[in-house]
Amino acid sequence: MSVVDELRKKVKGDVEDDAPTLAKYSEDYSIFTVRPQAVVFPKDAADVEHLVQFAAEKEQKGESISLTGRSAGTDMSGGPLNESVIVEFVKYFNHVREIGLDYAVVEPGVYFRDFEKQLQAKELLYPAYPASKDLCALGGMVNNNSGGERTLQYGKTEDYVEEVRIVMADGKEHTLRPLAGDGLREKLAEQSFEGDVYRKLFKLIEENYETIKAAKPKVSKNSAGYYLWNVWDKKTFDITKLIVGSQGTLGLLTAVKLRLVPAPKYSRLIVVFSKRLDHIPELVGDVLRFQPESIESYDDRTLKLAMKFFPAMLKLMRGSIWQLFFRFVPEIGMMLRGGIPKMILLISVTSSDRNDLELKGENIMEEIKKYPVLARNVRNTAEAEEYWTIRRQSFNLLHSRVKGMYAAPFIDDIVVDPKYMPELLPQVNAILDQHKDKLIYTIAGHPGNGNFHIIPLVHLNDPETRKIIPQVTEEIYRLVFKYGGSITAEHNDGLIRTPYLREMYGDKIVALFAEVKRIFDPLGIFNPGKKVGATLEYAAQHMKE
């Protein structure tokens, strides 16, 4: 009996192995292709439990069956790709189970765009969403520890997960939440698989406490490795901090309880056009004093891309060409006077009080006058949304509009202390410009956090280009390490960055990561080759043709 036939006997959901399905689930938004053996669409938690039990039985018999969870498939790292079985949650695990006054319980296959509509009706906000918010699902957001334009004020996914329901390696669904005092002592004494996980993890962290704390990257956000430094503060043991960002390598999520915040009533966007980078960190530092909700950016290449694909951008902006022309008359005038800017900053301020919002906007505009930049206080919501469209849609434009070239996110998420931006970015540009005959690229990001997304466009069928990718990656990561940064602030490790974790953290911490994987997943069932055990050779072999 084939594995697919066996799987069909184990679950109520669907099991597919036809060529179109396998082709679809061989790819995400990364540069990789990994063809699975089968794709399973579980109907409920019992199905997920049966899958894990089945995989464990096979492993114990020496037959390798691994399980990789997948939601919307928008990951840029190759995280949801696997040669064995893909467990797809969007089809059936797509319910918002509950929305309370300040929390929601959601399943991993819920699209964020649907969740957001329900929250808007209740004037609530889940702020840790990425730029791909119209495409992604909540399971991927939790497993990647996603962040985005509101992270500056509100933080990342790790700050909003209060509880997880997860099927662990014993084939049972567990509810994990922060524990302290008697609750923690009882859990550490519990004779069960979950109790064993707590005891072993507690021992590992206690014995290496100072080493782990010292390893935490000195940046405002990080998605690289397992977040051991966040689990135990000597009072509360919060194992959910380890599950967040683990890319499904420690178990399969079935539901998540998320903290929500009240949605601000009013917002205002201030757009800054700068022809130089050297004063940006100081400008950003001054603006931060007024507590903006976000400071986003995109570069001149992104702006030129929007101009090049103006019909597509026009459609995304949902306006007529004349409406948009008159809305952008001030910006056109600015560019005629000062040329195309090197960087455009989007400074968003929000408030529940209109007068307070006006004051914030005026104060920021006054502060900006100290710098050699052009700025505009955008008072119209429709105009503001057009700037956000350029920022959010740049990757999609690259991905879908440039014929013969592929949007290749292989150095797409670096982060350093914002003060290093004027030193780092010109060096990054210099490295990329050495290969301008082989690639073109855009830079967008979150300058308030020192986080930038670099998306090169390449011909993946060119052998020379395929050699350039690891070369450029290595050179830029060396720069990031030089400035004490992280190779991924939001997008996580997957196939593309796991091989570089040793260079980032060192042998000791990587060994602790491997031990964490063994504690949770002793048979290696869950998403192998992510977080631990990946090689550059495997990545190169599975690069898209």
Domains, the chain = 3-88 (3.30.43.10), 96-262 (3.30.465.10), 265-401 (3.30.70.2190), 404-492 (3.30.70.2740)
**Res 321: pLDDT:** 44
**Phi, psi for residue 4 in degrees, rounded to 5:** -60, -45
Query: Where in 352-434 does DSSP place strands (E)?
Result: 374-378, 406-407, 411-415
Mean pLDDT score, 335-355: 84
pLDDT in tens, 147-172: 998 999 999 999 999 999 999 999 99
Residue 474: pLDDT over 90:
yes
**Res 326: pLDDT:** 43
pLDDT in tens, 281-340: 899 999 999 999 999 988 887 777 666 655 554 555 455 444 444 455 555 565 556 667
CA-to-CA distance for 348 and 345, rounded, in angstroms? 10
**Res 275: pLDDT:** 87
**Res 337: pLDDT:** 64
pLDDT in tens, 219-250: 999 999 999 999 999 999 999 999 999 999 99
When mean pLDDT is compared across 17-31, 90-104, 155-169, 409-423, the lowest value belongs to 409-423
Residue 388: pLDDT over 90:
no
When mean pLDDT is compared across 177-191, 320-334, 344-358, the lowest value belongs to 320-334
425 or 116, higher pLDDT: 116
Residue 185: pLDDT over 80:
yes
When mean pLDDT is compared across 266-280, 312-326, 392-406, the lowest value belongs to 312-326
Q: In whole angstroms, what separates CA 4 from the centre of its chain?
A: 32
β-sheet with 14-16: strand ranges across = 14-16, 38-41, 85-88, 67-70
**Res 396: pLDDT:** 62
Other CB atoms within 10 A of residue 105 CB: 17
Provide DSSP, 423-490. Answer: HHHHHHHHHHHTTTTTEEEEEEEETTTTEEEEEEEE-TT-HHHHHHHHHHHHHHHHHHHHTT-BS-SS
Q: In whole angstroms, what separates CA 425 from the centre of its chain?
A: 21
Query: Which residue has tokens 């955008």?
Result: 378
